[in-house]
């Protein structure tokens, strides 16, 4: 039996006829400090991004999402914002941001910027005013200040833990040097949480949205979109504050969603309805995407109802790892949940917060997601990891909906898994006493030129984190035009995805051709088959091969290989 004669199974998703760009787009994430440096200080900047936008056009993406470039003390790499209406001098100026947006639009690229509404920097003018004001003041009402528990207020107001480790509360010191109230921070102590029950906070962020929309941005990626509203009374919670684990392949789809009283409260939806009204008042089909680690997927779909967000990151897909049954369940559940509210499904494999999938998939357990990898940890099999990563990426890019590509994954970059601990900067590393290596390994500056100092990242050769020596052969100039390179694989995939309109397509499963570890489906005129088994499978691949993640052999689909074929 050939693929052309395989019986079809469940229709998981029907073609999408809506022309809105964000429903089908491939969006490329730029982490500005690590993309390209124009100033020569070893830290990426906005002029560096602008100078390299041609790379994104050549690659074939539709839009660029920029991680935060706002004025910030950089305690958490810019996710601690001191001024939402200005560019940090580290990255350039407002004029540089305007130039980037203008150049991107000239090249046909949309621009999405990060918005960080759950918390500010402790150096934000509001928080400085709060510290200088008395308990119960309007300035403190913008944040979560509370009296401590215990005889002298020496204990935190509740037992919540920070995602970065340690307590989620820090005690202030009064002007006379005596201990004062405590303030809440779900992340680092330099990132105090805003109080979204305060109308002043809501009005401020609507104005921030308009500030950037007026400058021409096409949308916003909303950081910690599930975290802004807390349960009334801030009650104790005996659970563990964490992102989706995903190690249990059933929880990734049908978990309880119990992330405690600090996450996924119903009140967040009123915020997004008001934001949607702001965006809808502008021309140009502006869009928002939620970074919401929420499960089950039916709960996540509430963020993308017609009057709220446009997209939400599908972290259940990322968390499923290299496990075909889990991926099948996540794909089916994703379409079911999102189709029910008329929203597109998004797909993502890597970003600035997780170990790159070229490394994750090279671990002994390719469904495991460690928070960073360092010396003394299991080192991934680089060859196996890249082989699987190419197959996983080809599978992802064939799925209907919108896809996100993290900078460098088109080069097959692994994490820097041997980074010296004394070079690490992620607050998660320090707050856990090194128990978690943190996210620095996936944030290393990109390699542009294999023979240049700093691999062409900066005109001086400086890089704020060192690059692995093995990255020289993965540089853009080494892969461009090289048959079989990961870069050329991505270019071909994105070209075919657009030509075949896979993002707007439908998905119909084919009856499993070779066991539970092989995924096979049809999207329009393209048949996609992915072998996630550890062994080759006998499978006649008759018909025109459009693209394959690795070498093929007659009658066999090799282990860790995905192939796109022209359907009969």
Q: Point out the residues that are catalytic.
A: 223, 291
CA-to-CA distance for 435 and 429, rounded, in angstroms?
Answer: 7
Q: What pairing do the DSSP bridges indicate for beta strands 287-290 and 219-222?
A: parallel
At 402, is the secondary structure helix, strand, or coil?
strand
Q: Residue 252: phi, psi to the nearest 5?
A: -60, -25
Q: How many Å from the N-terminal Cα to the C-terminal Cα in the chain?
A: 14
CA separation (Å) from 111 to 69, 277, 394?
A: 13, 20, 24
* Contact (CB, 8 A) for 81 and 120: yes
* Contact (CB, 8 A) for 64 and 53: yes
**Number of continuous H segments (helices) and E segments (strands) in the chain:** 16, 21
CA separation (Å) from 347 to 149, 252, 392?
A: 44, 14, 11
Show Cβ contacts of residue 424 under 8 Å, excluding neighbours closer than 6 positions.
Answer: 430, 437, 438, 440
CA separation (Å) from 391 to 169, 386, 388?
A: 43, 9, 5
CA separation (Å) from 488 to 28, 231, 399, 471, 476?
A: 16, 49, 19, 17, 10
* Contact (CB, 8 A) for 130 and 140: yes
CA-to-CA distance for 537 and 515, rounded, in angstroms?
Answer: 9
In 302-451, alpha helices (H): 315-320, 324-339, 357-360, 382-397, 427-431
| Residue 548 CB-half CA count within 13 A | 16
CA-to-CA distance for 419 and 403, rounded, in angstroms?
Answer: 29
CA separation (Å) from 177 to 156, 172, 173, 259?
A: 18, 10, 6, 37
At 13, is the secondary structure helix, strand, or coil?
strand
Q: Residue 529: phi, psi to the nearest 5?
A: -130, 125
CA-to-CA distance for 390 and 402, rounded, in angstroms?
Answer: 18
* Contact (CB, 8 A) for 496 and 512: no
Q: Pseudo-torsion of CA 276, 397, 494, 213, nearest 10°?
A: 10
């Amino acid at each position: 039996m050939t693929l052309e004669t395989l019986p079809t199974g469940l229709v998981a998703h029907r073609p999408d006829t809506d022309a809105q760009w964000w429903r089908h787009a491939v969006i490329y994430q730029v982490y500005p400090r690590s993309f390209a440096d124009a100033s020569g200080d070893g830290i990426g900047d906005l002029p560096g991004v602008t100078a390299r936008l041609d790379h994104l056009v050549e690659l074939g993406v539709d839009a660029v999402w920029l991680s935060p470039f706002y004025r910030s003390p950089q305690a958490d790499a810019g996710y601690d914002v001191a001024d939402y209406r200005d560019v940090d001098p580290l990255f350039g100026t407002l004029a540089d941001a305007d130039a980037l947006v203008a150049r991107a639009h000239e090249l046909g690229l949309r621009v999405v910027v990060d918005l960080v509404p759950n918390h500010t920097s402790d150096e934000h003018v509001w928080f400085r005013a709060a510290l200088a004001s008395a308990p119960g003041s309007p300035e403190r009402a913008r944040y979560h200040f509370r009296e401590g528990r215990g005889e002298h207020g020496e204990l935190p107001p509740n037992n919540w833990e920070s995602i970065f480790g340690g307590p989620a509360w820090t005690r202030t010191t009064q002007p006379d040097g005596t201990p004062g109230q405590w303030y809440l921070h779900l992340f680092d102590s330099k990132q105090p949480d805003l109080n979204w029950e305060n109308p002043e906070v809501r009005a401020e962020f609507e104005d921030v949205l308009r500030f950037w929309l007026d400058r021409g941005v096409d949308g916003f990626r909303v950081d910690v979109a599930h975290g802004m509203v807390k349960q009334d009374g801030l009650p104790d919670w005996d659970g563990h504050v964490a992102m989706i684990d995903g190690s249990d392949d059933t929880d990734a789809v049908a978990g309880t969603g119990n992330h405690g009283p600090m996450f996924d409260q119903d009140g967040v939806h009123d915020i997004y309805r008001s934001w949607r009204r702001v965006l809808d008042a502008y021309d140009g089909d502006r869009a928002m995407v939620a970074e919401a680690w929420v499960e089950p997927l039916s709960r996540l779909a509430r963020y993308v109802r017609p009057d709220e967000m446009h997209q939400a990151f599908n972290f259940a897909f990322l968390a499923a790892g290299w496990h075909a049954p889990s991926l099948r369940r996540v794909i089916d559940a994703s379409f079911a949940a999102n189709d029910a509210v008329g929203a597109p499904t998004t797909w993502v494999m890597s970003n600035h917060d997780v170990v790159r999938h070229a490394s994750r998939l090279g671990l002994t357990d390719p469904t495991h997601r460690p928070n960073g990898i360092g010396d003394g940890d299991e080192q991934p099999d680089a060859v196996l990891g890249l082989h699987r990563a190419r197959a996983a990426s080809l599978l992802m890019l064939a799925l209907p909906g919108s896809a996100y590509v993290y900078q460098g994954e088109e080069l097959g970059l692994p994490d820097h898994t041997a980074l010296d601990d004394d070079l690490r900067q992620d607050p998660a590393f320090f707050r856990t006493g090194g128990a978690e290596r943190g996210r620095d390994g996936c944030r290393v500056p990109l390699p542009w030129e294999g023979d240049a100092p700093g691999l062409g990242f900066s005109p001086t050769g400086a890089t704020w984190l060192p690059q692995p020596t093995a990255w020289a052969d993965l540089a853009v100039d080494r892969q461009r035009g090289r048959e079989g390179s990961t870069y050329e694989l991505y270019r071909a995939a994105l070209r075919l995805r657009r030509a075949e309109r896979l993002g707007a397509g439908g998905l119909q499963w084919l009856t499993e051709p070779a066991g539970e570890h092989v995924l096979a489906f049809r999207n329009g005129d393209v048949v996609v088959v992915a072998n996630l088994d550890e062994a080759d499978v006998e499978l006649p691949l008759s018909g025109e091969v459009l693209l394959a993640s690795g070498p093929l052999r007659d009658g066999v689909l090799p282990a860790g290989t995905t192939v796109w074929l022209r359907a009969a």
